[in-house]
């Protein structure tokens, strides 16, 4: 997430608003954070806050009671229509970037599993993010094509998740949603029925599968019954006609079983919309457990080729993410995709000379130092 820093004045609580570089209509000012304004103090009072790039500001403005952040670094990174949160310490978190295709709603850091390669730090002091996220959704530009709901595990907030989806349906009727989940909560048929009854016109549920049996899946998920609950959840979601994507993260504990996982999906979940094979994101627990998880890129190729061939011959919709083209045989290039998330399409400096960089999926930003020694520009 993009973050800027400045010097705060008169900010006693977090403030959320939409960025504007211009004076806005009076009715819109209560949700607008204006950048480098040249307005009277009377008019500035009607805005959520004001952001200044200048090193210092007038003392009268500092003591006016108007929420202000000045001496903000890299203010040029902000765009008209971005949505930001200003904290009392002057930190400006950019929650939504209008010119980006990889926007998300961070539902919670909490989770009902404990995956050995989880990239998300758990914040035990995060509080309830529902009101913040509902306000954020109301400020997001209506032309946004896709929005991800992620965590942690979004379903641990229970029925509050429904409020977020209904808010998206109301404020962003043309925006497709991608819900990233372990699907365990959907083993509750009543919960799945209520979820499915929300009637969102374009939502895909993306679920990560770690094995074709409970022993392997539960070990990686770090939680007993994770596999059985996930399978019941997937079948319940399918019963109500939901669009489902299966994700398979490739690491030392999964790469040898890719074909078995693929066979299991085709035998039991032929209804899924999409199957994604994904490289490892090496942050938080994955970084701490990297010695246990890492496998040489060349070692995964045979299993990956077999799995792709098996599923492709049966007409399944397939993709490979976060594995550079130079580490894949050419017969798999047609399945390689660039992620919608910019930080998932990162490159090493040696990639600058590569002739297929524009088509390459790159790596997770955190994985660049790990993959660097294996990269061979084409």
Report the CATH number at residue 289.
Answer: 3.20.20.70
Our measurement of the distance from residue 32's CA atom to the centroid of its chain's CA atoms, rounded to an integer in Å, reads: 25
Distance CA 308, CA 302 (A): 10
The CATH number that applies at residue 37 is 3.50.30.10
Residues 308 and 211 in one domain: yes
Residues 24 and 59 in one domain: yes
pLDDT of residue 101: 87
Residues 296 and 343 in one domain: yes
Closest alpha carbon to 115 in 256, 223, 247: 223
CA distances 360 to 10, 241, 333, 334, 372, Å, are 47, 33, 9, 11, 15
Query: Is there a contact between 78 and 19 (Cβ–Cβ < 8 Å)?
Result: yes
Confidence of residue 369 (pLDDT cuts 50, 70, 90): very high
pLDDT of residue 342: 57
**Beta bridge mates, 92:** 4, 86
Residues 190 and 45 in one domain: no
Residues 13 and 121 in one domain: no
Residues 73 and 151 in one domain: no
Closest alpha carbon to 116 in 260, 250, 292, 255: 292
Is 341 a residue whose pLDDT tops 70? no
pLDDT digits (tens, 9 = 90+) for 218-272: 999 999 999 999 999 999 999 999 999 999 999 999 999 999 999 999 999 999 9
Residues 288 and 369 in one domain: yes
Q: Which helix (H) or strand (E) holds 95?
A: strand 91-96
Residues 141 and 255 in one domain: yes
pLDDT of residue 343: 55
* Cβ neighbours for 337, distance < 8 A, ≥ 6 positions apart: 319, 320, 321, 361
Give the percent of the chain with pLDDT over 70.
99
pLDDT digits (tens, 9 = 90+) for 7-22: 999 999 999 999 999 9
**φ and ψ at 5, to 5 degrees?**
-135, 140
Distance CA 280, CA 290 (A): 10
Question: Quick one: DSSP state of residue 158?
Answer: T
Residues 202 and 302 in one domain: yes
Inter-helix orientation angle 130-139/160-171, to 10°: 10
Cα angle for residues 14, 158, 105 (degrees, 5° grid): 40
Please state the rounded mean pLDDT for residues 26-40: 96
- In the chain, the number of structural domains is 2
Confidence of residue 339 (pLDDT cuts 50, 70, 90): confident
Residues 114 and 167 in one domain: yes
Closest alpha carbon to 309 in 334, 278, 272: 334
Which of 71, 95, 119 is a domain's end point? 95
Which of 61, 95, 129 is a domain's end point? 95
Residues 108 and 75 in one domain: no
Pairing of strands 91-96, 83-86: antiparallel
How confident is the prediction for the chain on average, in pLDDT? 96
pLDDT of residue 340: 53
* Tokens matching residue 130: 């529902």
pLDDT digits (tens, 9 = 90+) for 70-129: 999 999 999 999 999 999 999 999 999 999 988 999 999 999 999 999 999 988 889 999
Distance CA 208, CA 301 (A): 20
Residues 86 and 170 in one domain: no
Which of 95, 125, 143 is a domain's end point? 95
Which domain, by its residues, includes 222?
Answer: 104-374
pLDDT digits (tens, 9 = 90+) for 271-317: 999 999 999 999 999 999 999 999 999 999 999 999 999 999 999 99
CA atoms within 13 A on the CB side of 232: 15
Q: CB burial class (10 A; 0-12, 13-18, 19+) of residue 278? A: buried
């Amino acid at each position: 997430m993009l973050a800027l820093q400045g010097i705060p004045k008169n900010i006693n609580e977090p403030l959320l608003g939409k960025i504007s570089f211009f004076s806005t209509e009076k009715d819109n000012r209560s949700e607008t954070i204006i950048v480098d304004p040249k307005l009277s103090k009377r008019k500035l009072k009607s805005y959520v806050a004001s952001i200044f790039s200048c090193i210092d500001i007038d003392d009268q403005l500092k003591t006016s009671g108007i929420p202000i952040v000045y001496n903000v670094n890299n203010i040029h990174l902000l765009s008209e229509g971005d949505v930001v949160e200003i904290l009392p310490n002057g930190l400006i978190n950019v929650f939504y970037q209008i010119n980006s295709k990889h926007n998300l709603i961070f539902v919670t850091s909490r989770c009902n599993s404990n995956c050995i390669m989880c990239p998300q730090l758990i914040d035990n002091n995060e509080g309830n993010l529902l009101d913040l996220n509902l306000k954020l959704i109301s400020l997001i530009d209506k032309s946004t094509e896709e929005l991800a709901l992620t965590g942690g595990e979004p379903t641990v907030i229970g029925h509050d998740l429904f409020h977020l989806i209904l808010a998206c349906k109301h404020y962003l009727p043309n925006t497709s949603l991608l819900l990233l989940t372990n699907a365990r909560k959907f083993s509750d048929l009543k919960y799945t029925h209520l979820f499915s009854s929300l009637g969102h016109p374009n939502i895909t549920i993306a679920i990560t599968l770690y094995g074709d049996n409970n022993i392997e899946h539960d070990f990686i998920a770090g939680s007993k019954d994770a596999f059985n609950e996930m399978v019941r959840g997937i079948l319940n979601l399918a019963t109500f006609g939901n669009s489902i994507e299966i994700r398979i993260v490739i690491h030392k504990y999964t790469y040898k079983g890719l074909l078995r996982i693929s066979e299991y999906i085709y035998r039991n979940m032929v209804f899924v919309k999409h199957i994604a094979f994904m490289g490892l994101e090496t942050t938080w627990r994955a970084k701490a457990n990297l010695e246990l998880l890492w496998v040489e890129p060349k070692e995964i190729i045979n299993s990956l080729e077999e799995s792709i061939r098996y599923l492709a011959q049966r007409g399944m919709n397939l993709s490979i993410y976060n594995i550079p083209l130079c580490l894949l045989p050419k017969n798999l290039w047609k399945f390689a995709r660039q992620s919608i998330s910019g930080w998932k399409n990162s490159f090493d400096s040696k990639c600058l000379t590569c002739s297929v960089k524009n088509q390459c999926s790159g790596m997770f930003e955190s994985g660049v130092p790990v993959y660097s020694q294996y990269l061979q520009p084409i």
